Amino acid sequence: MVYAMTVIGFLLRLVGANQSFWLDEGASIEIALTPLVSFVEKMATDFHPPLFYLLLKLWLPFAGKSELLIRLPFILLATASIPALYFLIKETTQVKNQLAQRVGLILLAISPFHIYYSQELRMYSLSTLLTVLSWLYLIRYQKRSGGRNIFLFGLFGVLNLYTFYGAFFNLVAQAIYIVCRKNKVLILLSALAVTVFMFLPWIPILREQLAAGGYLKTALPGWQSLSGTLTLKSLLLIPLKLIFGRVSFSPKMIYFAMAGFTSLIYLMIAVIGSQDKKSRPFTLWLFVPLIIASVISFKTPVLGYWRFLFILPALISLVSIGFSRLSLPIRGVVFWTTVVITLIPTVIYWTVSSNQREDWRGLSKFTDQQNSLVIVNFPYTFAPLKFYSSNSSYFFTQQSLGQAKSDLIPELSVSAKGKTKIYLLDYLSDLTDPQRSVRRMMENSGYITVTTKSFNNLGTVTEFSHPGL
C-alpha cells in the first residue's frame, strides 16, 4: 500500500505541473542562475537560506526551459514526504495500529495543500520532507539508540535550517518534546546544539536579509499585509488552507461553508487523536511553531499560511491517530466522507484557472515583441519576465522601491522613441500606484490605448500607441 499511494501521490502532483512560473518561482530561478562568485551577495537581498537555490542551480542546466522538468526533482522530494510520514506514524504509534499509518499515508497523498506546494518552485515542500525525517530519526533514536539515528537526526536538522528559517520553530518544538519525554535528554539536546552551531556561518547573511526585509516593510507598507500580520484572519486562514487547500471560489458563502465543514471534521478528529499519549510529538510540532510565529508577528509579519506547510504532516498524523480511536460503526463513513471532500479542492485547482498560478508565460508571449517597451510600476524587472522574455525593453516608473520618478513622462518619451509597441503592466499597482497616476499621465501626454488584455492573476496589460506615431 505504501508504494501504491506514493505512486498515486506522485501522479496527482504531476497534473498541472507545467503551469507558468509565478513571481516567487521566477525569483527562485533568478537567484539560482546567479554565478557562484556573487551568489552570497545575491542571497543577502532574499529572505531564505541557500540550500534550495543551490539544488535548483545544479538542476537547471539539465532542465532547460521546461516548467515541468524544472519542477520535477522537487516534486519527487515532496512526494517522498508521503512514505516518510507513514514510517513516522508507524514508529510513533503501536506497530499494530496499521489504520493510523494507512490513513496518514492516504491523507497526505491527496492533501490539496501539499499537492499545490509540491509543484511550487520554492523551498517549502523540501523543508516539509526534512522536518518529517528529523522527527522520524529523533523518535527512532529514543526507541533504539544507534549512531546512525542520532547522526541522521542532526543531519536533517541542519539541512532544514539551511532550507527554511521556519525550521528554527520546529527545533524549539523538538527541544520541548525531548525535555518532556525525559529519554536520552542530554545527548539529544547536544545534537540540537550542534545543529544550531552548524548554522552559525550563515548568521552574517541572515542579518543582512533582516535589514533588507525591514527596508521593504518601510518602503512598501502594503507588502506587510500580504506577509501574514497578526490578525484573526491570518490565524484562521492557516488551518483552513492547510486542510482545504489554497483554492478559493465564489460565492464566498459556499466556499466558507465547504472549507469550514472540511476543517471542522479534520480538527474534531485531530482533537480525538491528541488524547492519545503517543501523539505528543505531533501536538508540539503543530502548535509550538504557530505560537512562536504569532509572537514574532508582533514585530514582523510571518503568519502567511504558505509558510506552515511543514506542520501539515503533524496535523494529518493527529487526524490519523484520531481515526484509529473512532468506533467501528462510524469510522468508515467518516473516513470516506473525509476523502471525498478532501479531493474536491484539488479538482477545483485543476479545472478553475483563477486558482492556478500567475500567467507570466502568456503575458510574456503577448508583450515580447520586437521594438517593444514594457512599463512596470516597480524599480526593476519582475523575475518571470527575465525567464520568459527576450525581445522586450523595460521602463521603470519608480527610481527606488516606493519612490516614483519625478520626471517620469520625459524619461518615458526618450525610452519609447522608436518603439512600435508600448505596454503598461498593472501588476502590483495596487501597492505602488493605487491611484493609477502613471496611466493618467500617459493618456494626458497623448498616448492612446490600443487594446487591454487580462492575464490570470496578473491583472491587465494595456497596449499604447506612441503619441508621435
- The residue that leads in pLDDT, 283 or 399, is 283
Question: Within 13 A of 110's CA, how many CA atoms are on the CB side?
Answer: 17
Residues 210/48/349/431 CA torsion (nearest 10 deg)? 30
- The residue that leads in pLDDT, 95 or 260, is 260
Is the domain of 157 the same as that of 14?
yes
Q: Give the whole-angstrom CA distance, residue 352 versus residue 250.
A: 11
| Strands, sheet with 459-465, edge to edge from the N-terminal-most edge strand | 393-396, 372-376, 421-425, 459-465, 448-455
Is the domain of 166 the same as that of 190?
yes
Please report which confidence band the pLDDT of residue 95 belongs to, taking 50, 70 and 90 as the band edges.
low
Model pLDDT, residue 469: 56
Model pLDDT, residue 217: 63
Model pLDDT, residue 187: 95
Is the domain of 334 the same as that of 392?
no
Give the domain extent around 396: 360-465
Is the domain of 347 the same as that of 379?
no
Average model confidence (pLDDT) for the chain? Answer: 92
Pairing of strands 372-376, 421-425: parallel
- The residue that leads in pLDDT, 412 or 227, is 412
Contact partners, residue 41, CB within 8 Å, separation at least 6: none
Is the domain of 110 the same as that of 144?
yes
Q: Of 321, 355, 389, which residue sits at a domain end? A: 355
Model pLDDT, residue 223: 60
Is the domain of 260 the same as that of 279?
yes
For range 70-93, the mean pLDDT: 96
Is the domain of 364 the same as that of 340?
no
Q: What's the farthest any 2 CA atoms get from each other in the chain?
A: 79
Q: Of 306, 327, 355, which residue sits at a domain end? A: 355
Please report which confidence band the pLDDT of residue 401 belongs to, taking 50, 70 and 90 as the band edges.
confident
pLDDT in tens, 245-269: 999 988 999 999 999 999 999 999 9
Q: Give the whole-angstrom CA distance, residue 74 versus residue 306.
A: 16
Q: Of 323, 355, 387, which residue sits at a domain end? A: 355
Is the domain of 166 the same as that of 256?
yes
Model pLDDT, residue 250: 87
Is the pLDDT at 220 greater than 90, yes or no? no
Contact partners, residue 197, CB within 8 Å, separation at least 6: none
* Number of structural domains found in the chain: 2
Model pLDDT, residue 299: 84
Please report which confidence band the pLDDT of residue 103 belongs to, taking 50, 70 and 90 as the band edges.
very high
Is the domain of 109 the same as that of 215?
yes
Is the domain of 242 the same as that of 302?
yes
For range 418-435, the mean pLDDT: 91
Is the domain of 366 the same as that of 293?
no
Is the domain of 346 the same as that of 374?
no
For range 139-152, the mean pLDDT: 93
Model pLDDT, residue 231: 85
**3-state secondary structure labels for all residues of the chain:** CHHHHHHHHHHHHHCCCCCCCCHHHHHHHHHHCCCHHHHHHHHCCCCCCCHHHHHHHHHHHHHCCCHHHHHHHHHHHHHCHHHHHHHHHHHHCCCCCHHHHHHHHHHHHCCHHHHHHHCCCCCHHHHHHHHHHHHHHHHHHHHHCCHHHHHHHHHHHHHHHCCCCCHHHHHHHHHHHHHHHCCCHHHHHHHHHHHHHHHHHHHHHHHHHHHHHHHHHHHCCHHHHHCCCCCHHHHHHHHHHHHHCCCCCCCHHHHHHHHHHHHHHHHHHHHHHHCCHHHHHHHHHHHHHHHHHHHHCCCCCCCCHHHHHHHHHHHHHHHHHHHHHCCHHHHHHHHHHHHHHHHHHHHHHHHCHHHCCCCHHHHHHHHCCCCEEEEECCCCCCHHHHHHCCCCEEEECEEECCEECCCHHHHHHHHHCCCCEEEEECCCHHHHCCCCHHHHHHHHCCCEEEEEEEECCCEEEEEEECCCC
For range 78-94, the mean pLDDT: 94
Is the pLDDT at 216 greater than 70, yes or no? no
Q: What is the distance of C-alpha 178 from the center of its chain?
A: 29
User: Does this model's pTM top 0.85?
Assistant: yes
